[in-house]
Chain A
Amino acid sequence: MVDIPADTGLAARRPSRLEGLRALARSNIYFAIASIVVALFILSATFAPLVSPHPPLDQDMAAFMSPPLTENHILGTDSFGRDLLARTIYGARYALAIGFGAVLIGALGGLIVGVAAGLSGGVTEWALMRFIDALLALPSLIMAIAFISILGQGVDKVILAVGVALIGPFSRTVRADVLQVKAQAFVEAAGLMGVKRLAIIWRHILPNVIFPLAVQATIRVSYAVLVSSGLSFLGIGVAPPTPDWGLMIAEGRSFVSFAPWIAGVPGTALAILLIALSIVGDGVREHFDPKLRKQG
């Protein structure tokens, strides 16, 4: 009778993602702080009507262009008398919605194109590779501008434009992952078992590609937020009077010498969010990537 080995003391189950991240937060203080900051932004954006002291579009002309720490307006008001804290909180909504929305579109599009490019061969692969090259040749901002000019302004158009601009980078990483997974022994083993090609893609290749893609997506959110703010700053993103940070910075540009807070408050908020998102994204990537290499 064959010996049944005792438990060798290895993990009873794969440690859940959350546990891993919690451990990461404990060891890296920056990651912990950054996660809290991002969480605060997300929470205040979600519960904006409850958190914000004023509605974002309310104009208090009596207190227009007041500096921060004025009574009733902690962060001051802009040239229309609108409370800056309120607009910043609501601006977080737009920033995060656009950021996550665009990344979702980009990741989905990148997944389709990348998987097709990685699995096809011959002329199809060549054509798809050239398509991806074309997408990558244009900087994301330029491409987003081009799409806006076709689609017009507005929050949904910005999401679409930035999203499409992100398809290029995503498809490149997805294709690389697909090629790597395709070469693994377990894919060949499934083929030897007689499993049909589509089943192999669905059961073996996709699950191993989705996860690295998700990690990539968390890193790219900050970039998407930056691009969309850039579009709004240039005046071709969302339309006024939407409380978008890029738009607010643009509006405050003319007053920067004597009322710097009008551009400063949204600018600072944007900077903080971007830094925090980058740190969180980096932490997630570092935490999962070495394991990805081992697993994938």
Chain B
Amino acid sequence: MSTAPIFRLLDVQKAYDIDAKGGALFNRAKRRLRALDGVRLSLAPGESLAIVGESGSGKTTLLRVLLGLTHPTDGRALFREKDIASLDGVDRDRFCREVAMIYQDARGSLNPRMSVLDLIAEPLDHHKLCTKSERRDRVAALMSRVGLSPAMMSRYVSALSGGQLRRVAIARALASEPSVLVADEAVSGLDVSTQAQILKLLRDLQREMGLSLLFITHDLGVAAYLCDRIAVMYLGRVVEAGLTREVLKAPAHPYTRALLNASPRFFAPISDPLPGEVPSPIDLPPGCRFAGRCVRARDDCQKSEPALTPASPTRMFACFHPLAS
């Protein structure tokens, strides 16, 4: 098994052109919305990475680029060192098989007209991973693995609870024997007790099967529990990345610090909130994109954008005046 990274993003940019609003009739000046503005990221085999960001951070666009659902307007998105956008044939089949996605809306990601058996067996059938006679047994094994009683295989989506649906979605993701699990807010909207079960399941699976895990979330606690590494995104860029424990214990970027402070912790006083709201990603002013809300901003922060620079082999951040570690 090669140690080459599974996913690599090199200065990936995804921009949309927006028509200027309220301009003169013939004013065709277009404005650019940079959903992703130069993202640099990699995921090694067996590694678990959390992508943390709030709304407008670009994490959803990042996910879509990684899955090949949308192509970057600049930069390169690579799967096993090949451009995701131009994968086809055998490479594409391999990609579809190795990368399994778990959606935020578990119920919506499962066809309501198919039984649990058919839902979980679909990847098995498509990738021809087992014979017809083995089909039922394989599905039963997968269901047990995720904590579902195999007797439920004849049920339909409408008869299952939220937690059970997540498990079905996970079982289906595992059916294709993937090497990477990609999850988009896979535990949001669940009760804490169900969330705890699903998280424990995911972590156990990831460790036992040596899967790579890319987990998108807004919840730092979930990121800390599930993933060894974390990347914090703000307005289309990674502003800090590193080992989760290190980053959360001593964040370097003021935005990470603000996220930490804002996360509810038992009996901690409510933090000084971050002033203002996330600015519009259209026509960002020059300089660091966080400068407008940063309490530590200085003159040089408004002039140029700090690059994501490594501070150590396992740590990098994009800030001219990082917090002292």
Residues of A within 8 A of B (CB): 2-5, 7-8, 10-14, 184-186, 188-190, 192-195, 203-204, 207-208, 211, 291, 294-296
Decide: A207 and B155 in contact? CB cutoff 8 A.
Answer: no
CB nearest to B201 among chain A residues: A2
- Which residues on B sit within 8 Å (CB–CB) of A195? 122, 126
A192 and B67 contacting across the interface, CB-CB below 8 Å: yes
> Does B325 have its Cβ within 8 Å of any Cβ on chain A?
no
> A208 CB to closest chain B CB, in angstroms?
6
Asked if B154 is at the interface of the complex by the 8 Å CB criterion, the answer is: yes
CB pair A194–B204 under 8 Å, yes or no, is no
Let me know if A14 and B159 touch, CB within 8 A. Answer: yes
Contact A186 B111 (CB under 8 A): yes
Say yes or no: B122 contacts A190, CB within 8 Å: yes
Please tell me if the beta carbons of B204 and A2 are within 8 angstroms of each other in the complex.
Answer: yes
The distance in angstroms between the C-alpha atoms of A7 and B114, with both chains bound, is 20
A193 touches B176 (CB 8 A): yes
> Which residues in chain B, 80-104, are within 8 Å of chain A measured between CB atoms?
92-93, 96-97, 99, 101, 103
> Residue of A at shortest CB range from B110?
A186
Complex interface bits, B161-178 against A, C-beta within 8 A gives 1, otherwise 0: 101100000000000100
A193-B96, A208-B112, A208-B113 given; A3·B197 CB < 8 A: yes
Q: Are B112 and A7 in contact (CB under 8 A)?
A: no
Nearest-CB residue, chain B, relative to A295: B112
A258 to chain B, nearest CB (A): 59
| A7-B113 contact in complex given A14-B156, A190-B122, A195-B126, C-beta closer than 8 Å | no
Q: When chains A and B are docked, how far (Å) is the Cα of A188 from the Cα of B155?
A: 22
- Asked if B159 contacts A4 (CB within 8 A), the reply is no
For the complex of A and B, the 3 pairs showing the least CB-CB separation, nearest first, are A194-B96, A295-B112, A185-B109
Q: How far is the CB of B291 from chain A (nearest CB, A)?
A: 37
Residues of chain A within 8 A of B97, CB atoms compared: 194
What are 27 sample pairs from A and B whose C-beta atoms fall under 8 A apart? Answer: A2-B145, A2-B147, A2-B201, A5-B149, A13-B154, A13-B159, A184-B108, A185-B103, A185-B108, A186-B108, A188-B69, A188-B109, A192-B69, A192-B101, A193-B122, A193-B126, A194-B93, A194-B126, A195-B126, A203-B111, A204-B111, A207-B111, A207-B113, A207-B114, A208-B113, A295-B157, A296-B112
Q: Which residues of A contact B204 (CB under 8 A)?
A: 2
Q: How far is the CB of A192 from chain B (nearest CB, A)?
A: 6
Query: How large, as a class, is the contact surface on chain B?
Result: 35 or more
Closest partner residue, chain B, to A14 (CB atom)? B156
C-alpha gap A211/B156 in the complex (Å): 15
In this assembly, does B158 line the interface, its C-beta being within 8 Å of a C-beta of chain A? Answer: yes
Once the chains bind, are A4 and B155 in contact (CB under 8 Å)?
no
Assembled-state Cα–Cα distance A7/B164 (Å)? 10
B144: interface (CB < 8 Å): yes
B197 near A8 with CB under 8 A, answer no
Chain A residues whose C-beta falls within 8 Å of the C-beta of B96 in the assembled complex? 192-194
Which A residues are in CB contact (< 8 Å) with B160? 10
Beyond A3-B147, A13-B155, A14-B155, 7 additional contacts (C-beta under 8 Å) are A2-B146, A185-B105, A186-B108, A188-B69, A194-B96, A195-B122, A203-B114
Least CB distance from B15 to A in Å reads 23
- State how many angstroms separate the Cβ of A16 from the closest Cβ of chain B: 12
Q: Which residue of B lies closest to A181 (CB)?
A: B111
Interface string of B133-153 (1 = CB under 8 A from A): 000000000001111110000
